[in-house]
Structure 1
Amino acid sequence: MLAVLRSVNEEGADYLCNIPFEQWTQAYEGGLRYGHMTSNLAECINSVLKGTCHLPITSVVRETYFRLAALFPKQAASYKGQIQGGRVWCAKVLQEINKAKARPNTMHTVCHDRDNLWFRVTEFDRPHEGIIGGQYRVHLRNRTCDCERFDALRYPCAHVIAACQNLRLDPMSYVDEVYKLETMYNVWKHVFPPILDKRNWPPVSLALFKLLLDRKLCRKTKGRPYSTRIRTNIDIREITNNQKLCGWYRNRGHTSRSCPNQNS
């Protein structure tokens, strides 16, 4: 991947290489984000705050607070209802595990160490499904698999389920606690208290704040403004070696105002 980036943009590839890989790649993040990448999290936030990008910063902050205040009780009530209904795991994990349970019949599992739960899982080719077979080492005690889906997502992949079926183990015992509905409910149960009306806010002394101007954003006070247009070869006015050309005779080194031949 880095070779492709380097061939496309040398400067961009050098910039990415200076950032630790565990901060922006899923292959090196060590399963800390449970498969979520930065783009996934950004899209989730954008979906909640859709339509607020054009607002001023004060309105964006206010809209963010009130939208989260309405979203958290709604999500908490949904998870609480599922818990009261007797469910333990979230629907997404159950769906993925049920899908993976249909694949072990196309695999051959051999137990190499019953005490340490070492397995070798051989997956057969299935060209009609685009799956190329291979051998995978599964270590249930360390919760690792060579396909690395088990390591990153923290719930059993198809190879882990095949190893569990070999010893009649419950694959749900290898699902991380973060996928429990109780864990999700504990996240969403926090509330955002209502905010007082602006007229009832306590007085704040402006002496505590000091506004600093950004000189780079200020307009030029004297002289003509700088042109930011990208000039091409068809422009009449040319700039060569940082020297302006005379508007009358097209000579270098002076302008039409300081042209020595302007009287003639």
Structure 2
Amino acid sequence: MDSRYVRILLLVVAQDGNRNVLSIAFAIVDKENMESWEFFLTNLRRRSGVPWRSIYCIRHIAANFHRDYKNAGWRKQVLKMAHELEPHIFRQRIIRLESDMEGQTNTSFRQWLGTMEPWRWAQSFDEGFRYGQITTNLVEGQQVNQMEAGHVLVEDVRDEIVVNRQMARSMNVEIYSRRLETFRVTETISRRPGIPPRSYGVDLQNRRCDCRRFQTLHYPCAHVVAACAKVNLNVEQFIDDVYTLERTLCVWENEFPVLPDLSTWEVPLTTFKLVPDRGLRRNPRGRPQSSRIRNEIDIRKKSDGKRCGLCKLAGHSRNKWPQ
């Protein structure tokens, strides 16, 4: 924090259904250490709220992996593994990575993970608990542009449903059981280059699809949209309430009360005088030192050097551009 004395701000942020970020708790402490974190988390757990559990940020896992093995290609494979939704493709990626690591390292990827369970870092095993959010960098979440009156769903999901409806038009749907609401949806156009079109099972009653986007993100994927269109069902009934405009507005409905005049505050008299710790005072001279703990995540890729602003080529500048 920018103040006369050194202070650290500990902050808890959350995200609404439209990817807007808001702070829900904070604490100002002298320094970031185990004692301050224990104080902060202990008080945070005393407040009742939505269910939570401890999970890992994939960017930090990938950074730690790159720190140990110094291989950018392997690091990208770990990131793709965490983003994968289908368990069998996740296992294929692990086998491919361990095959690449064989003979070059003394440990396999599974040994490096140790006791880290897949549901703590991989999307394909978290059963939709994180709604697709697998990093701690919520600030890069998409911000809503404008909420127009009459729209029941928030902007982000409405756009996704429009895209899924367009994709669903090119899919073939076979009804397995109208009573159980189970279907087999076959793609006619491949969604991934180099991979032939596939078929997916859809279970509307249990809100599941073999592509796993339905149960992970909690709104209909293109296969579910196609199945609903086949039997004339309203697809919006399968969208989680967290994405509704009503729920989003509830997040922001609380207001701060008007504070009374300072002279009317009932403050008990202190029995001792508070004296600031001069050891925590900032050095007024020189450039302020950042307190951020930097690691491999903060390392930027090396650039190709300066380029010309006109032709975008290296070796000269805009002023010395060869005519």
> Normalising to structure 1: TM-score of the pair?
0.54
Give per-residue Cα distances to partners, 1:163-211, cap 9 Å, x unaligned.
001101111111011000110111112234577999979466789xxx9
**What residue number does 2:117 align with?**
20
Tell me the secondary structure at the aligned position of residue 32 of structure 1: coil
Distance 1:122 1:14, change over 3 A: same
**What residue number does 1:147 align with?**
211
Counterpart of 2:122, as a letter, is T
Is the CA contact (8 Å cut-off) linking 1:138 and 1:144 kept in structure 2? yes
Identity within the alignment, %: 33
Is the CA contact (8 Å cut-off) linking 2:168 and 2:223 kept in structure 1? yes
Q: Say whether 1:160 aligns with 2:224.
A: yes
**What residue number does 1:217 align with?**
none
Distance 1:191 1:119, change over 3 A: same
- Equivalent in 113, 127, 134 of residue 37 of structure 1: 134
Larger Rg: 1
Alignment of 1:41-120 (within 5 A): 41=138, 43-44=140-141, 82=148, 85-120=149-184
Using CA pairs under 8 Å that are at least 6 residues apart, name the structure with larger relative contact order, 1 or 2. 2
Give per-residue Cα distances to partners, 1:211-254, cap 9 Å, x unaligned.
9xxxxxxxxxxxxxxxxxxxxxxxxxxxxxxxxxxxxxxxxxxx
Whole-angstrom distance in 2 between the partners of 1:146 and 1:129: 19
Tell me the secondary structure at the aligned position of residue 189 of structure 1: coil
Per the TM alignment, residue 34 of structure 1 is displaced from its structure 2 partner at its CA by 1.0
Is the CA contact (8 Å cut-off) linking 2:186 and 2:197 kept in structure 1? yes
Whole-angstrom distance in 2 between the partners of 1:141 and 1:92: 25
Q: Which has the higher helix share?
A: 1
Tell me the secondary structure at the aligned position of residue 103 of structure 1: helix
Unaligned runs of 5+ in 1: 49-74, 212-264
Whole-angstrom distance in 2 between the partners of 1:196 and 1:204: 21
Alignment of 1:157-236 (within 5 A): 157-192=221-256, 202=267
Whole-angstrom distance in 2 between the partners of 1:194 and 1:150: 44
**What residue number does 1:65 align with?**
none
**What residue number does 2:38 align with?**
none
Per the TM alignment, residue 154 of structure 1 is displaced from its structure 2 partner at its CA by 0.7
Whole-angstrom distance in 1 between the partners of 2:244 and 2:192: 35
Is the CA contact (8 Å cut-off) linking 2:191 and 2:197 kept in structure 1? no
Unaligned runs of 5+ in 2: 1-77, 79-93, 278-323
> Normalising to structure 2: TM-score of the pair?
0.45
Tell me the secondary structure at the aligned position of residue 206 of structure 2: coil
Whole-angstrom distance in 1 between the partners of 2:192 and 2:113: 38
Tell me the secondary structure at the aligned position of residue 236 of structure 2: helix
Whole-angstrom distance in 2 between the partners of 1:143 and 1:128: 24
Q: Say whether 1:137 aligns with 2:201.
A: yes
Tell me the secondary structure at the aligned position of residue 164 of structure 2: helix
**What residue number does 1:58 align with?**
none
Is the CA contact (8 Å cut-off) linking 2:228 and 2:234 kept in structure 1? yes
Distance 1:182 1:127, change over 3 A: closer
Per the TM alignment, residue 152 of structure 1 is displaced from its structure 2 partner at its CA by 0.5
Distance 1:114 1:127, change over 3 A: closer
Tell me the secondary structure at the aligned position of residue 102 of structure 1: helix
Per the TM alignment, residue 33 of structure 1 is displaced from its structure 2 partner at its CA by 1.5
RMSD: 4.1
Whole-angstrom distance in 2 between the partners of 1:9 and 1:25: 24
Distance 1:145 1:127, change over 3 A: closer
